[in-house]
Amino acid sequence: MPEGDTILRTARTLHRALAGHVVTRFESVYPQLTRVDADTPLRGRTIERVEARGKHVLMWFAGDLVLRTHMRMQGSWHIYRPGERWQRPRHEMRIVIETDAIHAIAFNVPGAELAAASEIERGPALSTLGPDVLSDDFDASDAARRISERNVTIADALLDQSAIAGIGNIYKCEALFAAKVHPFALVGSLSPETIARVVAAAAKMMRANVADAASGAMTARRTTGRADRRARFWVYGRRGQPCRRCGTPITRDAGTDARVTYWCRRCQPTSLE
C-alpha cells in the first residue's frame, strides 16, 4: 500500500493538471460510478481541486460531487495529453476523466466512490480516519492518544489508519528506528513520551519528503537525509546489512498480515523504558 507522501504527490500532480478545467468525458468500469454519472453527469463540470486525505485521493467537482479513490497496492493515476499513448494496457483502466488539455486515467484502482461531498465525508472510508500526518492541521497529540488506546504492537498501531493516517511500512520501520523503539513492543508497555517520540519521528520524515512536492519536483524518498541514493534508508530493505549507527546486521521479520518489519536489535532493544 502506498505511503501517504506518494498519495500527496499524486493528488498535487492531478491538481496542477486538472484544477480549473472542465470535464469533457467520463468513463469507468465500475457500475457504481457510471450510475451516479448517468444521474448527475460529470461532463460539463469544473474540476475544483484534488487533495489527499490519508491514503485517499479526493477529486472535487463543481456542484458538490467528489470522486474518492484508494490505490491499495497496485493502483495508480496517470496523466496524458490528448492522443498520447498510455503506458499501461487498456484492460487495467478503471476510470477516465478527460478535459480539453489533459486526460487522467486511473489504472488498477480497486476502491472508488462518487457521491455528494457530505456523503463522502460521513462515509466509513473518511470518517474513521485518524489525524493525517501530512495535513496542515495535523494533531500529533490526538494521534499519540489514539495509538495509546490500541492493544497491539507499536508497529501495527502505526499502520492503523484510524489511529494515524498516512503511514505505511517504510515510514513505520524508519520512524521506529529513529525513535529507538522496538517494533514488536506492545503499545501498553510504552510511555506516552515514547509514543509521542515515534509520532514526531514519522511526521518529521514524511514532511521532509513532501517539502518539494508543491513545486512538482520529484526526488527519491529518503529518511537519512543523505544525498547518496544508496544510503536513503536507515533500516528498510537492508536485511543483513550493517546498521548505519552501530554496525549490527539489520533484522527482517514478518509481523501480522505478513507486513515485513526491518529493525536493529541493538539500537531498538526490547527494554526501552
Grid coordinates belonging to 48: 475544483
- For residue 42, what are the contacts with CB-CB under 8 A and spacing of at least 6? 23, 26, 61, 65, 97
Give the Cα separation of 203 and 205 in Å (integer).
Answer: 6
Q: Which of 79, 101, 127 is the last residue of a domain?
A: 127
Whether 93 is covered by a domain: the verdict is yes
Q: Which of 127, 161, 190 is the last residue of a domain?
A: 127
The reply to whether 44 and 74 lie within a common domain is yes
Q: Supply the pTM of this predicted model.
A: 0.89
* Contact between 160 and 257 (Cβ < 8 Å): no
What's the half-sphere exposure (Cβ side, CA atoms, 13 Å) at 193? 2
Q: Which of 9, 12, 55, 146 is catalytic?
A: 55
The reply to whether 114 and 190 lie within a common domain is no
Distance of CA 199 to the CA centre of its chain: 16
The reply to whether 155 and 198 lie within a common domain is yes
Q: Which of 77, 102, 127 is the last residue of a domain?
A: 127
List the single range of 60-64, 76-80, 229-233, 241-245 with lowest mean pLDDT: 229-233
- What is the rounded average pLDDT of the residues 137-157? 96
The reply to whether 156 and 222 lie within a common domain is yes
Q: Which of 2, 12, 197, 221 is catalytic?
A: 2
Q: Residues 2-39: pLDDT tens digits? A: 788 889 999 999 999 999 999 999 999 999 999 999 99
Q: What is the count of structural domains for the chain?
A: 2
Whether 269 is covered by a domain: the verdict is no
Query: Catalytic site residue 55?
Result: yes
Q: Which of 3, 98, 113, 174 is catalytic?
A: 3
The range of the structural domain enclosing residue 240 comes to: 140-263
Query: Catalytic site residue 3?
Result: yes
Of the candidates 66, 68, 262, 70, the one whose C-alpha atom is nearest the C-alpha of residue 161 is 70
pLDDT band for position 184 (cuts 50, 70, 90): very high
CATH number at residue 156: 1.10.8.50
Query: What integer pLDDT is reported at residue 181 of this predicted model?
Result: 97
Query: Catalytic site residue 172?
Result: no
Phi, psi (rounded to 5 degrees) for 31:
-60, -35
Distances from the Cα of 164 to the Cα of 29, 57, 73, 142, 261, angstroms: 32, 17, 19, 9, 18
Whether 134 is covered by a domain: the verdict is no
Query: What integer pLDDT is reported at residue 50 of this predicted model?
Result: 97
Whether 248 is covered by a domain: the verdict is yes
* Contact between 37 and 113 (Cβ < 8 Å): no
Whether 271 is covered by a domain: the verdict is no
Share of the chain above pLDDT 70, in %: 94
Q: Which of 45, 145, 204, 259 is catalytic?
A: 259
pLDDT over 70 (residue 1): no
The reply to whether 177 and 207 lie within a common domain is yes
Whether 273 is covered by a domain: the verdict is no
